[in-house]
Amino acid sequence: MNKRFLIILVLLLAAAAFAFAGGQQEGAEGEAGGGEDQYITIHWAQWAPADYLQKLSEDFTAETGIDVIVEQTPWETFVQKYNVEMIARSDAWDIIIGDSQDVGTMAVGGHYVELTDWIKENNVDKDFTAASLTAYAEYPKGSGRYYAVPAEGDALGWAYRKDLFEDPENKAAFKEQYGYELGVPEQYEDLKDIAEFFHDPDNGFYGISIYGDNGYDSLVMFGEQCQWTFGGDLGDYSTYQVDGILNSEGSIAGIEFYNELFKMTPPAFNDAFYVKANDAFTAGIVPMTCNYFAFLPALANSATNPYAEDTDFFACPPQVGVDGETYQASALGGQGASVVTYSKKKDLAMQWMEWFIRPEVQKKWAELGGYTCHIETLESEEFLNATPYNEAFKKSMEFFKDFWAVPEYGELLETYSKTVGGYIIRGEGTAEEALDKLVGQWEEIFERAGYL
């Protein structure tokens, strides 16, 4: 019994107790109102984009008279909370902006309204990037069945110190040592050269800040990105085959690369996630960092980054894989907006969804700070020039990829973190040994689930 299951079980028992004690009466009163309450509740994680959505939805209220409440839950308990509520068939929320990896769980459980026909009738499949629709809305992948609208696009991107990269002495020394110009990496392997060049632990300066293992998905996000970029993969999402793919030469090369980069991070980065990645950069102890775009605005703000004027951004570079082919990938973050099956206000929720996908609303969503996946907005000069990181974000929306979206994704994350993390963080064994072991663990999970 894994940790995630235990948490969900405990929360489910608490939810059941609440329903028995009085939740049933409250639901009955809501139903007696005939669904006339002119408000909807959207559940999302506690962060700045949720605040932006609350602000954006004021326009919807002004237009329709329907109030919108964006209820926020801390990231630490966000996914567990809505999973428990859905298992209990709760109507606490009308829309959930849920984790991309959880689409399978919600679809299989019948917790999200299927939107396939609506998506096509409203041209969402043409107006939003194909990668975002697959990642945030489709299950099973490749089936053409949809359960969400892309709401908050996100992917891993990079920030770097222009003043350090453009310093004449640094440029001359780098070219002498590596034989090419110091600048924005043109391929993934350049990242290692640059990190190695700047790495100077004796003087409190380090080569790079990247994710460690936070116990959930941080290590997996950076690890899968390295695998994809070197020509590997996590498996065949349609057949569930992992042997020969998860442990392919490309995957092994990617994990070995991650291990080499991690050796040049600051001390105590074993559990690093987005906070530590940014903190090392703003502390001025690394020349570059990788983080989700949702957290990069802080690095462009002089109030939160003393090096903001000298900070610039780039998308994950390509790389020639072990097979000679060129690959480019970024690990996806972000969420899609889904209508809850148990909502008593599905008609009002669908009104909000129809409003949210409008081009002018998507434009304002981006202006407020939300990360749109709307093609017309992404390609506009206004968007591309609005921030120093928008161009890199737009590029990333074209090649980002996601983890498994099956209901068992929590177990897949946990085993990856423990098994592959042992090699990357603690240097245990080899990348090949770690991935071979992970293949066996994942095959057992898929067999138990009935996929193999």
Amino acid in the structure at residue 128 = F
* Whether residues 145 and 234 fall in one domain: no
Question: From CA 116, how far away is CA 338, in angstroms rounded?
Answer: 12
| Residues 292 and 350 occupy one common structural domain | no
> 161: which strand partners?
311
Question: Quick check: 68 and 60 in contact, CB under 8 A?
Answer: yes
Report the sign of the C-alpha dihedral through residues 163, 165, 171, 173, in that order.
positive
The 10 Å Cβ neighbour count of residue 46 is 14
Rg (CA), the chain: 23
The reply to whether 170 and 225 lie within a common domain is: yes
DSSP state letters, 69-113: EEEEE-HHHHHHHHHHHHHTT--S-SEEEEEGGGHHHHHHTT-B-
Final residue before a domain boundary, out of 363, 382, 401: 401
Question: Can you give the pLDDT at residue 76?
Answer: 84
Low-confidence residues in the chain, pLDDT < 70: 1-37
What pLDDT was estimated at residue 380?
Answer: 96
Domain count, the chain: 2
Domain of 226, in residue numbers: 156-331+407-449
DSSP state of 196: H
Q: How far apart are CA 274 and CA 207, in angstroms?
A: 17
Question: What is the pTM (predicted TM-score) of this model?
Answer: 0.87
Residue-level pLDDT at 61: 98
373 shares its domain with 231: no
Query: Could you tell me which residues are beta bridge partners of residue 332?
Result: 155
Contact 334, 153 (CB under 8 A): yes
Distance (Å, whole) CA 373 – CA 396 = 11
CATH code, domain carrying 233:
3.40.190.10
Q: Going by DSSP bridges, is the β-strand pair 95-99/311-315 parallel, antiparallel, or unpaired?
A: unpaired
Q: Are residues 237 and 188 part of one domain?
A: yes
Q: Are residues 121 and 160 in the same domain?
A: no
Helix (H, G, I), strand (E, B) or coil at 232: coil
145 plus 239 within the same structural domain: no
Report the C-alpha dihedral over residues 415, 420, 424, 426, rounded to 10 degrees: 70
The SS3 call for residue 288 is: strand
- State the pairing for strand pair 39-45/311-315: unpaired
Strands 39-45, 95-99: pairing is parallel
Give pLDDT, residue 36.
56
Pair (360, 287) in one structural domain: no
| 412 in Cβ contact with 242 (< 8 Å) | no
